């Protein structure tokens, strides 16, 4: 394929915005390639003109990690199931495949992802490249499931990285922030399909924190939400069951009321009311602790892991050593109270097992996660900066796809392989074809 043919699809850039409305940009040009050869040709075209190239997935990162100044590549046409290796329970997917497509793609082979986050709008490349993780004390994040990738590098060549081909690059390439090259396909280690028995119950703030280690270890997937200005906590405990176990899904009407009306429409209404009259936010949160989450059901894993999210918000999330979660959450509670802030969104707490990916938030460390949110019409900075200071006191590592204010120097202190990743970046993209201001900030210019 000639460069001329490949770049025929390049068009003047239109304004792009992410889902959380934290970032917008009008790139110089955009393209939506449908083949690996087209991706490679566009990269060569951009490199010759000293343009930078950034890929964009579903726009679910709150940080500026996907912001493209020159050439923006939409990989949504590089999607779908490319191959299945049933003896090893592995699948190869196009990089632009959305997570919500996976059940239909994997179920015919009796396979599933071993863990998922609670949002499935992201592309598989975007989710793994930014460190999406889900919850489960014995389960690592999505990027740890990658056993091979195909990447277009800065000189326009195609590089295969696997357990047998350039295996030294896997710890960097699995979770590469888009800084090493353009992922065009990924091979994932799946597991046989399974069900989850979900138990959602209210609890007390001190009660849950005092027994947190036991709760996190007692079930396969545990998480909880704390509502600021209250003692109310909503716990979610999911236990894995074989695929042939009996299903007891939430009824259609109950699911609509709980997940669409209560968890989304009512939340948006309460956020707007709270903006107009902040003084009533604590009372609203106390009401929420009485109407949210008191049910149990059993369903396919992907139906339980994922929840609809239609109310726009902005988010910051930090990973800290698991044992530090109770103290850190108490510190956040004290901060909110001392500053007199009114916070309408709950604080989310999750868990993940250690892995060996260099820029994973759980790199070589069993981790707990604390995520804070603000309604997208509210300014989050004062709240987020205050919480970030607490997290840094616990050797916190920020989620790459969510808002944070750190730079390369401080991040190198908490990511033990930060320098190794930067050296790999120097090797694969010495002229910084795939950079942007965010990557220069967190990795160094």
* Mean pLDDT on 108-127: 96
Q: Can you give the pTM of this predicted structure?
A: 0.93
Identify the residue with better confidence: 280 or 5: 280
- Give the whole-angstrom CA distance, residue 222 versus residue 260: 22
In what side-by-side order are the strands of the sheet with 397-398? 295-300, 194-204, 232-242, 221-226, 347-352, 367-375, 313-321, 397-398
- Of the candidate CATH numbers 3.40.50.300, 3.50.4.10, 3.30.465.10, 3.40.430.10, the domain formed by 81-192 belongs to 3.30.465.10
What average pLDDT score do residues 177-181 get? 98
1: pLDDT strictly greater than 50: no
Tell me, what's the pLDDT at 308?
77
Query: At the top level of CATH, which class does the domain 194-398 belong to?
Result: alpha beta
178-187, 271-280, 393-402: least confidently modelled range? 271-280
- CA-based nearest residue to 109, from 128, 81, 134, 149: 81
Q: Where are the domains of the chain?
A: 81-192, 194-398
Decide: 66 and 437 in contact? Cβ < 8 Å: no
Going by pLDDT thresholds of 50, 70 and 90, the confidence category of residue 243 is very high
pLDDT greater than 70 at residue 146: yes
The helix or strand, by DSSP H or E, that contains position 221, with its residue range, turns out to be strand 221-226
pLDDT at 286: 72
**All residues at 6 or more sequence positions from 135 whose CB lies less than 8 Å from its CB, including other chains:** 115, 221, 222, 223, 350, 351, 352, 369
How far is it, in rounded angstroms, from Cα 97 to Cα 93? 7
User: How far apart (Å, rounded) are the C-alpha atoms in residues 436 and 179?
Assistant: 9
- Encoded tokens for 114: 């071993």
> For residue 253, what pLDDT band results from cuts at 50, 70 and 90?
low
Q: How far apart are CA 95 and CA 409, in angstroms?
A: 31
Beta strands in 243-365 (DSSP E): 295-300, 313-321, 347-352
């Amino acid at each position: 394929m000639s460069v001329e043919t490949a770049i025929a699809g390049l068009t003047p850039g239109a304004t792009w915005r992410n889902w959380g409305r934290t970032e917008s940009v009008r790139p110089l040009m955009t393209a939506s390639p449908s083949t690996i050869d087209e991706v490679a040709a566009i990269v060569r075209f951009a490199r010759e003109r000293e343009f930078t190239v950034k890929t964009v997935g579903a726009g679910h990162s709150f940080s500026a990690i996907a912001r493209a100044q020159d050439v923006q590549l939409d990989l949504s046409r590089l999607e779908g199931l490319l191959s299945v290796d049933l003896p090893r329970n592995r699948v190869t997917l196009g990089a632009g495949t959305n997570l919500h497509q996976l059940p239909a793609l994997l179920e015919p082979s009796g396979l599933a992802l071993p863990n998922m986050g609670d949002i499935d709008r992201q592309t598989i490349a975007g989710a793994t490249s930014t460190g999406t993780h889900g919850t489960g004390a014995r389960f690592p994040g999505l990027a740890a499931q990658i056993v091979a990738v195909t990447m277009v590098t800065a000189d326009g060549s195609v590089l295969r990285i696997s357990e047998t081909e350039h295996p030294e690059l896997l710890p960097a390439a699995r979770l590469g922030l888009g800084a090493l090259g353009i992922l065009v396909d990924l091979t994932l280690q799946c597991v046989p399909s399974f069900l989850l028995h979900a138990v959602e119950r209210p609890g007390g703030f001190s009660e849950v924190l005092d027994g947190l280690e036991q709760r996190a270890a007692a079930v396969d997937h545990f998480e909880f939400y704390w509502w600021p200005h209250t003692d109310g906590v909503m716990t979610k405990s999911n236990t894995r069951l074989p695929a042939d176990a009996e299903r007891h899904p939430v009824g259609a009407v109950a699911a609509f009321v709980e997940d669409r009306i209560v968890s989304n429409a009512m939340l948006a209404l309460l956020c707007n009311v709270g903006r107009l009259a902040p003084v009533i936010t604590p009372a609203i949160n106390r009401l929420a602790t009485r109407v949210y989450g008191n049910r149990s059901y059993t369903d396919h894993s992907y139906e339980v892991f994922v929840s609809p999210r239609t109310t726009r918000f902005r988010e910051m999330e930090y990973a800290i050593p698991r044992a530090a979660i109770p103290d850190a959450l108490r510190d956040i509670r004290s901060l909110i109270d001392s500053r007199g802030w009114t916070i309408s969104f709950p604080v989310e707490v999750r868990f993940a097992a250690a892995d060996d990916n260099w820029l994973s938030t759980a790199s070589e460390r069993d981790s707990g996660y604390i995520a804070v949110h603000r309604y997208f019409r509210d300014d989050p900075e004062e709240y987020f900066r205050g919480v970030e200071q607490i997290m840094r006191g616990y050797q916190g590592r920020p989620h790459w796809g969510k808002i944070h204010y750190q730079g390369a120097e401080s991040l190198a202190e908490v990511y033990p392989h930060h320098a190794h990743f930067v050296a790999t970046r120097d090797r694969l993209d010495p002229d910084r074809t795939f950079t942007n201001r965010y990557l220069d900030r967190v990795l160094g210019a």
